[in-house]
Structure 1
Amino acid sequence: MATFDLVVRGKLVLENEVASGEIGVKNGKVETVSRERGTLTGARELDFGASYVFPGFIDAHVHCFSNPQEGFIATSAAAAAGGVTTFFDMPYDLPHPVNHLEQFKRKVAQLEQEAMVDICLWGTIAKTGGTDQIIPLAEAGAVAFKMSTFETDAYRFPRIPDSEILKAMELIQSTGLVAAFHSENDEIIADLIAEYKKANKVYPRAHMETRPPVTETSAVLKLMEFAYWTGVKLHIVHVSHPRTIDLIKLFRNLGVHVTCETCYPYLLLDVRALDEFGPKAKNNPPLRNPEEVRGLWEHLHAGHIDMITSDHAPWGAEHKDIGKENIFLAASGLPGVEIIGPLMFDSTVAKGRLTPVQFARLMSQNPAEVFQIPGKGKIAVGYDADFAVINPEEKWTLDETKFRSRSKMSPFHGKQVQGKVVHTIVRGTTVFDGQEITVTPGFGHFVPGAAVKKSASGRM
Structure 2
Amino acid sequence: MNAYHLVVRGRIVLETGVMEGELGINDGVIQTISPTQHLLKGVQVLDFGRSYVFPGLIDAHVHCYTNPEEGFRSNTAAAAVGGITTILDMPYDSPDPITNVERFEAKVQLLEKESLVDVALWASIAKGGAEQIKPLAEAGAIAFKLSTFEADPYRFPRIPDDEVIKAMIFTREVGMVIAFHAENGELIESLIAEYINQGLVAPRAHMETRPPVSESVEVLKLMEFAYWTGAKLHIVHVSHPRTLELIQWFQQQGVQVTAETCYPYVLMDVNDLERLGPKAKMNPPLRERSDVDRMWNYVKAGAFNLISSDHVPWDLSRKEAGKDNIFSAAPGLPGLEIMASLIFDYGVARGHLTPVQFANLFSHHPAQLFQIAAKGKIAPGYDADLTVIDPYAEWEIDERQFQTKARITPFHGQKVQGKVIHTIIRGCTVYDGKQIVQQPGFGKFVAGSAVKGKTRSDFVSR
Name the TM tier (shorter chain). Answer: over 0.9
Shift of 1:303: 1.1
The separation in 1 between residues aligned to 2:297 and 2:339, in whole angstroms, is 20
Match of 1:243 in 2: 242
Match of 2:73 in 1: 73
1:91 aligned onto 2:91: yes
Whether the 8 Å contact between 1:395 and 1:420 is mirrored in structure 2 is: yes
> CA offsets per residue over residues 327-375 of structure 1, 9 Å max, x none?
0000000000111110110000000000001110001110000111010
Match of 2:62 in 1: 62
1:51 aligned onto 2:54: no
Shift of 1:81: 0.3
Match of 2:120 in 1: 120
The separation in 1 between residues aligned to 2:2 and 2:31, in whole angstroms, is 10
Match of 2:279 in 1: 280
AA aligned to 1:45 is V
1:385 aligned onto 2:384: yes
Match of 1:323 in 2: 322
The separation in 2 between residues aligned to 1:339 and 1:299, in whole angstroms, is 22
Match of 2:129 in 1: 130
> CA offsets per residue over residues 210-250 of structure 1, 9 Å max, x none?
00000010010000000001000000000000011100010
1:347 aligned onto 2:307: no
The separation in 1 between residues aligned to 2:116 and 2:454, in whole angstroms, is 33
State how 1:384-403 maps to structure 2 within 5 Å.
Answer: 384-403=383-402
Shift of 1:168: 0.5
Q: SS of 2:123's equivalent?
A: coil
Identity %: 58
> CA offsets per residue over residues 155-188 of structure 1, 9 Å max, x none?
0001111011001101011000000000111110
Distance 1:459 1:26, change over 3 A: farther
Q: SS of 1:391's equivalent?
A: strand
Whether the 8 Å contact between 1:264 and 1:310 is mirrored in structure 2 is: yes
The separation in 2 between residues aligned to 1:268 and 1:205, in whole angstroms, is 17
State how 1:419-434 maps to structure 2 within 5 Å.
Answer: 419-434=418-433
Match of 1:441 in 2: 440
Distance 1:417 1:64, change over 3 A: same
Match of 1:154 in 2: 153
Whether the 8 Å contact between 2:56 and 2:85 is mirrored in structure 1 is: yes
> CA offsets per residue over residues 48-100 of structure 1, 9 Å max, x none?
00000001100000000000111000011000000000000000000000011
Match of 2:356 in 1: 357
Shift of 1:265: 0.3
Whether the 8 Å contact between 2:173 and 2:454 is mirrored in structure 1 is: no
> CA offsets per residue over residues 266-319 of structure 1, 9 Å max, x none?
000000111111000000000000000011011111111000000000000111
Whether the 8 Å contact between 1:321 and 1:330 is mirrored in structure 2 is: yes
The separation in 2 between residues aligned to 1:41 and 1:243, in whole angstroms, is 52
AA aligned to 1:280 is K
Match of 1:30 in 2: 30
Match of 1:294 in 2: 293
The separation in 2 between residues aligned to 1:2 and 1:241, in whole angstroms, is 54
AA aligned to 1:85 is T
Match of 1:176 in 2: 175
Q: Could you list the runs of 4 or more consecutive aligned residues of structure 1 that deviate by over 4 angstroms after TM superposition?
A: none
Whether the 8 Å contact between 1:348 and 1:354 is mirrored in structure 2 is: yes
Whether the 8 Å contact between 2:92 and 2:98 is mirrored in structure 1 is: yes
Match of 1:42 in 2: 42
The separation in 2 between residues aligned to 1:43 and 1:147, in whole angstroms, is 47
Shift of 1:459: 5.7
Distance 1:223 1:352, change over 3 A: same
Shift of 1:2: 3.6
Aligned length: 455
Whether the 8 Å contact between 1:91 and 1:121 is mirrored in structure 2 is: yes
Whether the 8 Å contact between 2:184 and 2:218 is mirrored in structure 1 is: yes
1:215 aligned onto 2:210: no
The separation in 1 between residues aligned to 2:70 and 2:251, in whole angstroms, is 37
Shift of 1:129: 1.6
Q: SS of 1:119's equivalent?
A: strand
The separation in 2 between residues aligned to 1:244 and 1:290, in whole angstroms, is 16
The separation in 2 between residues aligned to 1:322 and 1:253, in whole angstroms, is 44
Whether the 8 Å contact between 1:314 and 1:334 is mirrored in structure 2 is: yes
Shift of 1:132: 1.3
> CA offsets per residue over residues 113-139 of structure 1, 9 Å max, x none?
01110000000000x221111000000
Whether the 8 Å contact between 1:2 and 1:40 is mirrored in structure 2 is: no
Shift of 1:321: 0.2
Whether the 8 Å contact between 1:85 and 1:118 is mirrored in structure 2 is: yes
> CA offsets per residue over residues 387-415 of structure 1, 9 Å max, x none?
00000000000000101012111110000
1:233 aligned onto 2:232: yes
Structure 1, gaps ≥5 residues long? none
AA aligned to 1:72 is F
Root mean square deviation, CA, Å: 0.8
The separation in 1 between residues aligned to 2:319 and 2:303, in whole angstroms, is 33
Distance 1:459 1:24, change over 3 A: farther
The separation in 1 between residues aligned to 2:383 and 2:454, in whole angstroms, is 26
State how 1:403-422 maps to structure 2 within 5 Å.
Answer: 403-422=402-421
Please, what TM-score do these two structures have when normalized by structure 2?
0.98
The separation in 2 between residues aligned to 1:408 and 1:115, in whole angstroms, is 20
Q: SS of 1:287's equivalent?
A: coil
Match of 1:11 in 2: 11
The separation in 1 between residues aligned to 2:190 and 2:164, in whole angstroms, is 23
Whether the 8 Å contact between 1:279 and 1:320 is mirrored in structure 2 is: yes
Please, what TM-score do these two structures have when normalized by structure 1?
0.98
Structure 2, gaps ≥5 residues long? 456-462
